[in-house]
Amino acid sequence: MSVWPLLLVVGVTATTAATAQGSWRRDRVSGPDVYHSQDNYEWTTWFNVDHPGGRGDYEQLEAIRFYYRARVCDTPRALEARTTDWIPARDTGEKVHADPTVGFWCLNDEQGPGRNCSNYAVRFLCPKDTSATAQGAWGPWSDWSPCPALCGQVGVQVRSRNCQSQSLPCSGSKLEGKACNGPECPGTDCDLQCEIGRVNAECDACMCQDHILLGSVRSSGGLTAVGATILRSGKLLTLTDHNGHFRIPGLCPDGNTTLVVSLQGHTPVNIIVPYSTERTSVLTVQLERAEKLRVLNNPENKARREGQTAAFCCKVTGTPEPDKYQWFHNNSLLEKQSGSTLVLKDLHAEQAGEYYCRASGPAGAIKTKPATLTVLGKDEPSCNPKPESHLIRLPQDCYQNSSDSFYYDVGKCPTGTCAGQLDNGIRCKDSVAYCCGVKKMEERQLKCQGYQLPTMVVSECGCHKCVDTKAVVRGRAIAADTGEPMRFGHIFMNGVRVSRTGYKGTFSIQVPPDTERLVLTFVDNMQKFVNTTKVLPFNTRGGSIYHEIKLLRKKAPVTISSTETNTLELGDVEGQDPMVQIQIPPNSFYKQNGEVFVGNVNASVTFLDPRDVSTAAAAQSDLSFVGDEGDTLPLRTYGMFSVDFSGEEGGEPLNAGEVKVFLDSAQVKMPEHLNNMKLWSLNPDTGLWEEEGSLQMEKKRRGKREERTFLIGNMEIRERRLFNLDVPENRRCYVKVRAFRSERFMPSEQVEGVVVSLINMEPTAGFSSNPRAWGRFDSVITGSNGACLPAFCDEQKADAYSAYVMANLGGEELEAVPSAPKLNPNLIGVPQPYLGKLNYRRTDHEDARVKKTAFSINMAKPSPNTAEESNGPIYSFENLKECEEAPFSAAHFRFSRVEGDRYDYNTVPFNEDDPMSWTEDYLSWWPKPMEYRACYVKVKLNSPHEINVRSRNMGGTHPKTVGQLYGLRDTRSIRDMDQNTVSAVCLEFKCSGMLYDQDRVDRTLVKVIPQGSCKRDSVNSILQEYLVNHLPLAVNNDTNEFTMLAPLDPLGHNYGIYTVTDQDPRTAKEIALGRCFDGTSDGTSRVMKSNEGVALTFTCGDREATHQNVFQALQNPAGQSIASVVRGENRQNRRRQRGGGVNALRSSRRRSTRNPMGRRTQTTS
């Protein structure tokens, strides 16, 4: 019989349970003389040899002595216990047992339903110098106690003795135990038949007294599994020792005995003791890391009418699988709902609201995202039939006297789930998705200067089938330090390669349907960069989102010896001490098969130092973890490091066990974080961080005099190679941000699909304007009502946390509202005095040469007692829904897109940021919502001035559209950088092709009309030949313009026509523009090449139009024409370059020094 079960029985019979104590002494009834020699005693270090798996947590004195022999005295005077989270046992509320001569234990069965013991550590009070301390004398042993064993069982008899000295400790054990057999059992009805051996008393196993089972258990990565439990029929047989070995006598090798091997953080394994005729059997067990629970499918939004049925489903996986599901309605638990599917029958209004499920099991717990159930009355309209207001900008020659503006309200229908014509089937996902959208449209004729402009106005909204859309993420993967692209790297999703990067680091990935959390891992084949896992936000309503993936360059490896203690220092910020140390003991490296590696090791450890703000964008994942209750919670990082160990000769990947991590506590400026620091590893499949262990304070001497305090933790380096030093942070808020098409900041000009990013900063104590380190990096996507960015905040101290906020659209950085020379709350979007408290500063606040594309604020949590802080732009964490649904009038921060000199008008309004706004109509510019075809014609102009050019696009050959306007496109030419009298323009026109009904094609009638006195010089001969050979041929009698029936074929640069088809309209246009600027069919350029790939050439007179042009009018509201002219002149040099090329590396200097002095002058005026 092994030692520790014997001690367990002794402890239970000799002590009482404790629920409100943290330390225990050997003699509680002695007088004060027992404690007078306290100075001669000291506490040992903390020991933790067991984990609360199985039946509980057993910190037995004999087991501790087995592993740490000389570190515990023979007769401890007292025992103290705490959890690994440093919570004293007295404060846990758990029922525990303790005896200084036996140890400490906690049983899971005694903690009540649904609760298990915490993970405890213990320490003992021992004499300071046992060799010099006099020993007391023991009294005689008592008689042996009666045998407590039942029939057929083995028990323990105990006897005790007392120390006769009141002041001196006695050496030796106070208690002794010996095994004893219970009485023979009367005849039973046991049906178990044993081929070999005999049935045990419990009738659940066959026992062979002469057989011994030996085993070896390895954890994931081949490391030794210390403390793994071996169970049979739910009963604990033994634990593995410090070598991962175990020994079990008496089990029969009959091929029928099943053992369960489990280890904390690993998936339990069932093994069968094989049949054998030998007296000794040997087993080898390899454990795999347990997979935390993760959500595969969230419940979906549903709209139903009263009396109908709705079903919500959640799909959660993990190893082991969850064994319990709970459903919540508006955060209230629904009783008697314990499956993964929730069915609600005979619906009524009170059942409307949010529903989510919580799955739990041995692998933890996790909550799904909530789904909204809308319950409509039987006769209630599914969608509001009255359209919302939506203003569009009209051409500059179409001023409306009725509204005294260039804007016209065409209305829109908000997209949302509605109750359509569904059958009675109970499904997790509706067979047909119904959305609110346009039901009826009316044509209006607007009077403009010399012509009538047709426009379609929404007159009624209704419920119909949702537009089928696809979501796409694209971007570039580049080095964080130099911008070097990761060429031909692999991109993985859920462990499967789904794509690869191109020569310039570009990538494009279609998001699989029903994806809730897009996790991609970028792997460099050239081994230049660290494998990088990113959680990329995308537009669930469809469309393309651009992301720039910043990669850390791998540190050059150093050669170390596996047989020596090695210390690696991390953090090389100039002028500061290393932040982290990694200490690897001798003989800690293992091969993949578990063998100890001996030899030289190439060690490469790449550290992401939070003291360097330039590394924030390279942070892995989104710094989130799943808490004990299943909520996804944020982390604040104190550094990440990627580890790569390999043998020097063969390059074999190596694992390492019991590696120590030292974090310099002086680098933790927030004292409240010291006690909560933990070590985490990244799960590359889920993008979530999982806890590896806690860090504890300890002082270390560095050199002869300097003593420093470190946070010290242990970790094992196995299949995961990315680690993080983080603290959970519960001081959380949301920041409301909106993006706009211009600096007019109108509600109708909000831009969707903008990636808004926030870097949380921790200021240096006493210097709030000089942040010392970043702690978190987050990105979200703007929707129709802006975006809410998560961030850390503080209510007591406004500058405890600060933040940098920036925005990006298609690789183009948007501009923030200026903060100098004077704050303008109306432009910024936040009223005083809250704006002053937030200390808003654009990045060029003190230096006009700095980029204008970000701003910083103090993350001051709004005070509930201050009215002006209750309406944004900062919202407390529990008010996320209020932030997401905030009206436009509520406070928010703003970015604006500096668009080129162009203007788009569609007869049938369509928001390119929202594919679901597409409407079935013959005059729709884009005839298919999932296939966007962009067409451009390149026009060269011989003129000393930059000329505005318009394309007028009308139906050409389709009977439903002939002679009717599709839309207008106005673009200003860009002067050649080498020839002052030459400019060129890439002008969009509507492509020919099938209309929405896919019945027949329409050859669009396109007119290219330069503004002013211009004459057509030439037409590309190949293009002209194509048009002649593909009748009908448009009439071209007017030499001031050019008319054609647009080609059906996707022509190329030889024709001066550039055509690109993509699933996202913005992407198609960006690619086509890049080719048009470059004058090639497969290249891209941000600089206009006026003489390459031209279709049309015009010569224009020297006189430039004197009236305000269309672009000046569009960029400014009425009353600012003077400032507009100044800005237009200042833009001439800047507009020679195309902004935001899809594949172009963005030049921040070109983009950010857009005549800063001119912009400042305008603000001053």
**Residues 874-933 pLDDT 10s:** 999 888 889 999 999 999 999 998 665 778 899 988 877 777 777 888 888 988 877 889
Give the integer Cα–Cα distance in Å for 860 and 135.
Answer: 63
Highest mean pLDDT among 286-290, 415-419, 917-921, 965-969: 965-969
Is 60 exceeded by the pLDDT of residue 1104?
no
Those residues whose C-beta lies under 8 Å from the C-beta of residue 683, and which sit 6 or more positions away, are 292, 689, 690, 720
Task: Give residue 1140's pLDDT band: very low, low, confident or very high (50, 70, 90).
Answer: very low
Highest mean pLDDT among 984-988, 1083-1087, 1134-1138: 984-988
**What was the pLDDT predicted at 768?**
41
Both structure tokens of 385: 């039939």
Is 50 exceeded by the pLDDT of residue 386?
yes
**What was the pLDDT predicted at 749?**
84
**What was the pLDDT predicted at 188?**
57
Is 80 exceeded by the pLDDT of residue 14?
no
Task: Read off the pTM.
Answer: 0.71
**What was the pLDDT predicted at 423?**
65
Give the integer Cα–Cα distance in Å for 1046 and 993.
Answer: 9
Count how many Cα atoms sit within 13 Å of the Cα of residue 152 in the half-sphere of its side chain: 13
**977-1018 confidence digits (pLDDT tens):** 888 889 999 999 999 998 887 788 899 999 999 988 899 999
In the chain, % of residues over pLDDT 90: 20
Q: At residue 68, what is the residue type?
A: Y
Three-state secondary structure call for residue 1123: helix
Across the range 545-559, mean pLDDT stands at 91
Across the range 1122-1133, mean pLDDT stands at 33
Give the integer Cα–Cα distance in Å for 1149 and 321.
Answer: 53
**What was the pLDDT predicted at 129?**
63
Mean pLDDT check: name the lowest of 276-290, 522-536, 1130-1144.
1130-1144
Task: Specify the higher pLDDT residue, 120 or 1084.
Answer: 120
Q: Kindly report the number of other CB atoms within 10 A of residue 320's CB atom.
A: 13
In the numeric block, the tokens 């897009």 are attached to 518
Is 90 exceeded by the pLDDT of residue 521?
yes
Task: Give residue 1098's pLDDT band: very low, low, confident or very high (50, 70, 90).
Answer: very high
**What was the pLDDT predicted at 1003?**
92
**What was the pLDDT predicted at 953?**
94
**307-337 confidence digits (pLDDT tens):** 888 899 999 988 888 988 999 999 888 887 7
Please, which residues bridge with residue 249 across strands? Answer: 212
Q: Are 148 and 178 in contact (CB under 8 A)?
A: no
Mean pLDDT check: name the lowest of 82-86, 537-541, 573-577.
573-577
Task: Specify the higher pLDDT residue, 431 or 445.
Answer: 445
**What was the pLDDT predicted at 1111?**
41
Q: What would the DSSP string read from start to end of 558-601?
A: EEEETTS-EEEEE---TTS--SEEEEE-TT-EE-TTSPBP-SEE
Q: Are 935 and 1068 in contact (CB under 8 A)?
A: no
Three-state secondary structure call for residue 613: helix
**666-712 confidence digits (pLDDT tens):** 777 777 777 888 888 888 888 898 888 888 877 665 554 556 777 88
| DSSP H or E stretch at residue 254 | none
**931-960 confidence digits (pLDDT tens):** 889 999 999 999 988 889 999 999 999 998
Across the range 211-216, mean pLDDT stands at 88
Give the integer Cα–Cα distance in Å for 575 and 291.
Answer: 42
Is 70 exceeded by the pLDDT of residue 461?
yes
Cβ burial 854-871 (10 Å sphere, 16+ → b, else e): bbbbbbbbbeeeeeebbb
Task: Specify the higher pLDDT residue, 1103 or 573.
Answer: 573
By CB atoms closer than 10 A (0-12, 13-18, 19+), residue 421 is: exposed
Give the integer Cα–Cα distance in Å for 802 and 855.
Answer: 11
Mean pLDDT check: name the lowest of 255-269, 485-499, 625-639, 1149-1163.
1149-1163
Task: Give residue 592's pLDDT band: very low, low, confident or very high (50, 70, 90).
Answer: confident
Tell me, what DSSP letter sits at residue 674?
Answer: G
**What was the pLDDT predicted at 24?**
64
Task: Specify the higher pLDDT residue, 397 or 1163.
Answer: 397
Is 80 exceeded by the pLDDT of residue 36?
no
By CB atoms closer than 10 A (0-12, 13-18, 19+), residue 660 is: middle
**What was the pLDDT predicted at 1093?**
93
Q: Are 344 and 351 in contact (CB under 8 A)?
A: yes
**What was the pLDDT predicted at 1163?**
33
Is 50 exceeded by the pLDDT of residue 1115?
no
Distance spanning both ends of the chain, measured CA to CA: 91
- Strands of the sheet containing 519-523, edge to edge, are 496-500, 490-493, 519-523, 532-535
Q: Are 524 and 551 in contact (CB under 8 A)?
A: yes
Strand pairing class (353-361; 324-329): antiparallel
**859-871 confidence digits (pLDDT tens):** 888 888 888 888 8
Is 50 exceeded by the pLDDT of residue 575?
yes
Task: Give residue 76's pLDDT band: very low, low, confident or very high (50, 70, 90).
Answer: confident
Phi, psi of 967 (to 5 degrees): 170, 175
Tell me, what DSSP letter sits at residue 140?
Answer: P
Across the range 497-509, mean pLDDT stands at 91
**What was the pLDDT predicted at 39?**
65
Task: Specify the higher pLDDT residue, 173 or 1068.
Answer: 1068
Q: Are 1084 and 1071 in contact (CB under 8 A)?
A: yes
Task: Give residue 101's pLDDT band: very low, low, confident or very high (50, 70, 90).
Answer: confident
Kindly report whether the peptide bond that precedes residue 113 is cis, defined as omega within 30 degrees of 0: no
Q: Are 735 and 756 in contact (CB under 8 A)?
A: no
Across the range 251-256, mean pLDDT stands at 86
Mean pLDDT check: name the lowest of 12-21, 77-86, 676-685, 804-813.
12-21
Both structure tokens of 727: 């603290």
Is 50 exceeded by the pLDDT of residue 1156?
no
**784-835 confidence digits (pLDDT tens):** 899 999 998 888 888 888 899 999 888 788 999 998 888 889 999 999 889 9
Is 60 exceeded by the pLDDT of residue 304?
yes
Across the range 1019-1042, mean pLDDT stands at 89
**What was the pLDDT predicted at 488?**
92
Rg over CA atoms, the chain: 37
Give the integer Cα–Cα distance in Å for 692 and 678.
Answer: 7
Q: Are 259 and 270 in contact (CB under 8 A)?
A: yes
Average pLDDT of every residue of the chain: 81
Please, which residues bridge with residue 531 across strands? Answer: none
What Cα–Cα distance (Å) separates residue 1165 from each residue in 587, 818, 894, 1086, 1162? 72, 14, 21, 33, 5
| DSSP H or E stretch at residue 401 | none
* Nearest of 796, 662, 650, 641 to residue 731 by alpha carbon: 796
* Nearest of 892, 912, 808, 886 to residue 853 by alpha carbon: 808
Q: What would the DSSP string read from start to end of 887-943?
A: -TTS--EEEE----SEEEEESS---TT-GGG----TT-SSS-TT-EEEEEEEEEEES
**What was the pLDDT predicted at 536?**
92
**What was the pLDDT predicted at 772?**
60
Task: Give residue 7's pLDDT band: very low, low, confident or very high (50, 70, 90).
Answer: very low
